[in-house]
Amino acid sequence: MDENEKKLQEKFIQLKKYLDKGDKKRFRKTYLDMHFYDQSTFYLTLNKDERLSIYTILEPDEMGDMFDTLEDDLPEIPEYLNEMNLTYASQMLNDMYDDNAADILEHLDKVEIERFLGQMPRADANNLRGLLHYDTETAGGIMTTDYVMFHEEETAQEAISNLKKFAETAETIYYLYVLDNHDDLVGVMSLRDLIVLDDNAVLKDNMNSDIITVNVDADQAEVAKVFRDYEFLAVPVVDHSNQMVGIVTVDDVIEVIDDESLQDYSGLAGVSIDETVQDNPLKAASKRLPWLITLLLLSMITATLINHYESLLAEASILAVFISTITGTAGNAGTQSLAVAVRRLAVEEIDRSEFFKLVVKEFLTGFITGVVTGASVLLLVGFWKHNFILGMVIGLAMCAAITVANLAGSLIPMLMSSFGFDPAVASGPFISTLSDLTSVLIYFSIAGMFLQSFVGA
C-alpha cells in the first residue's frame, strides 16, 4: 500500500465514524473534498444501511457525480438504484452526464427504465431514450449530448462569459463547437485558441473549419483510431444528414481501447476474460466449457483420422512418438500467424489486393519457418534414432504442417473479417485444434509413402 492509499484508508475510517455518529456536516465536508473516484471507492465499501443513510446526506447531483465514475456494468447497480427513493434516483440519473446515465440504464429492463424516465422532465427523458437507441459499441452508444456550442457570430468575450454557464453541465468545455444559422456545425475551436483571442474577435474568423467528425453509426474502434491519430480530447458526432448530434470524449475512448484490446485478447485465448475475474470456480468453468467441448469434438475428428491409420501405427509404432511434436509445433506456428493477422485487421483496413498480398506473405513466412524447423527436427530425430529417413519423414511433415497452419492462421481471420464477422473470434485454441487435424493428415500421408524405407532402414 503506498502513501496515497494509506491516506485514503484513514479518510474512509473517519467518514464511517461521522456516518455512525450522524455528523452530517463533517461527513459532507470530508466526502465532497475527495475525488469522485475516491468517493466511489468509499461508496462500494458500505453496507445497505450505510448507503441508505448517505442518500439522506448527499444531494442527487452530488451522488450523480460519484455515479459518473462507477463502472456501468457493475452488477450491483440495479440494486443501488432500487434501494433509493424513486424521485431521488431519477433526479440523480438526470443530473449525471447523459452518456453515463444511458450506459447505466442500458443494463436495466424496459419497465425499470421507464419508471426512472417517467420522473424526469420530458425533454431530458427523450434525450436519454435517444441515446439508448444507439448500439453500445458505436459512436452513438458512447457519445454525450452535453457539449458546448456557440453561434459563429459571437465574439470571444461573449463566448467566454457564456462558457461559464456551460461549465456546470457540459462534459467538456475545452472544445467549443460553432454553429451557423441553420444549426449546422461549421467550426471547432479549443478553449486554448479562444483564451488567447482579443475580446472583440469573432468566432467565425478564428475557428478551425477543417472539422474531423465521426458518424453516429461508426464502430467504436474507428472512433478510437481518430483519437489516436489526432490526439483530440473530444470529437463531434454527426448523423447521416451531417447534423451534429453529440460528442465523444477521451475518457470514454480509453474505456473503448481497453474493451477492444480485451476482446482481442480473450478471443486469442478462447475465453471471455472480462467475466471470469470475480466468478467462483463453478461459474468460471461454465464459461470456459462451451469452447472446450466444441474444440474437443473437433479434436475427436483428428482421433478418427489417426484411428484410420491404425494399421500403419501397428506396423511402425515409432510414428506415435512424434504425433504431439508435429501437432504442437504446427499449432504454435498457427497461433503466431493468427495473432499477427487479427492484430493487423484491428489496426488497418484491408482491401482485396492487400488481402492477397498478406496471405501470400504469410504462406512464405510459414514455408521459411517450416523449412528451418523441419530441418532442425530432421537432425534431432536422425541422430537420436540413427535413422535419417525417419528424420526426413518427420521433417517433411513438420514443414508442410507448419506451412498449412500459418496459412490457416492468416486466411481464416481474414475470410471471417471479409464476411463481416469479428476475426478475433477465431481463437488460438481453435486454430491449433484445427491445425492438429491437418497436421495429422499430412504426417500419416507422408509416413505412408515412405513406410518401407524408414522401417527397413
Residues 330-359 that bind a copy of itself (CB under 8 A): 331-333, 335-336, 338-340, 343-344, 347
* Piece of 12-20, 131-139, 156-164, 449-457 that binds a copy of itself (CB under 8 A): 156-164
Report how far residue 401's alpha carbon sits from residue 337's, in angstroms, rounded to the nearest whole number.
13
Say whether residue 210 binds a copy of itself (CB under 8 A).
yes
Report how far residue 119's alpha carbon sits from residue 94's, in angstroms, rounded to the nearest whole number.
9
Indicate if the alpha-carbon torsion angle 69, 70, 73, 79 is positive or negative: negative
Closest CB to a copy of itself among residues 202, 371: 371
- Tell how strand 175-179 and strand 185-190 pair up: antiparallel
Strand ranges across the sheet with 185-190: 148-151, 175-179, 185-190
Report how far residue 372's alpha carbon sits from residue 434's, in angstroms, rounded to the nearest whole number.
23
Say whether residue 149 binds a copy of itself (CB under 8 A).
no
Say whether residue 270 binds a copy of itself (CB under 8 A).
yes
Say whether residue 365 binds a copy of itself (CB under 8 A).
yes
Task: Determine the residue type at 177.
Answer: Y
Residues 405-444 contacting a copy of itself, CB under 8 A: 428-429, 432-433, 436, 440
Say whether residue 250 binds a copy of itself (CB under 8 A).
yes
Q: Are 276 and 266 in contact (CB under 8 A)?
A: no
Site residue total, a copy of itself (CB under 8 A)? 107
Say whether residue 271 binds a copy of itself (CB under 8 A).
yes
Report how far residue 178's alpha carbon sits from residue 202's, in angstroms, rounded to the nearest whole number.
11
Closest CB to a copy of itself among residues 108, 160: 160
What single string gives the DSSP state of each residue in 272-320? -HHHHSS--HHHHHHHHHHHHHHHHHHHHHHHHHHHHTHHHHHH-THHH
Here the cell at position 374 is 523441419
Closest CB to a copy of itself among residues 64, 331: 331
Residues 251, 422, 425, 450: which binds a copy of itself (CB under 8 A)?
251
* Piece of 56-64, 110-118, 176-184, 226-234 that binds a copy of itself (CB under 8 A): 226-234
* Piece of 82-90, 104-112, 208-216, 449-457 that binds a copy of itself (CB under 8 A): 208-216
Query: Which of 274, 224, 269 is closest to 248 using CA atoms?
Result: 224
Residues 14-73 contacting a copy of itself, CB under 8 A: 33-37, 69
Closest approach of a copy of itself to the CB of residue 60, in Å = 21
Query: Which of 321, 302, 339 is closest to 390 using CA atoms?
Result: 321
Residues contacting 207, CB < 8 A, separation 6+:
152, 178, 186, 187, 188, 189, 193
Which x/- pattern over 376-395 shows residues binding a copy of itself (rule: CB under 8 A)?
xx--x---------------
Residues 274-333 contacting a copy of itself, CB under 8 A: 276-277, 280-282, 284-285, 288-289, 291-293, 295-296, 299-300, 302-303, 306-307, 310, 313-314, 317-325, 327-329, 331-333
Say whether residue 100 binds a copy of itself (CB under 8 A).
no
Closest CB to a copy of itself among residues 341, 416: 341
Closest approach of a copy of itself to the CB of residue 34, in Å = 6
Run of H or E residues at 151: strand 148-151
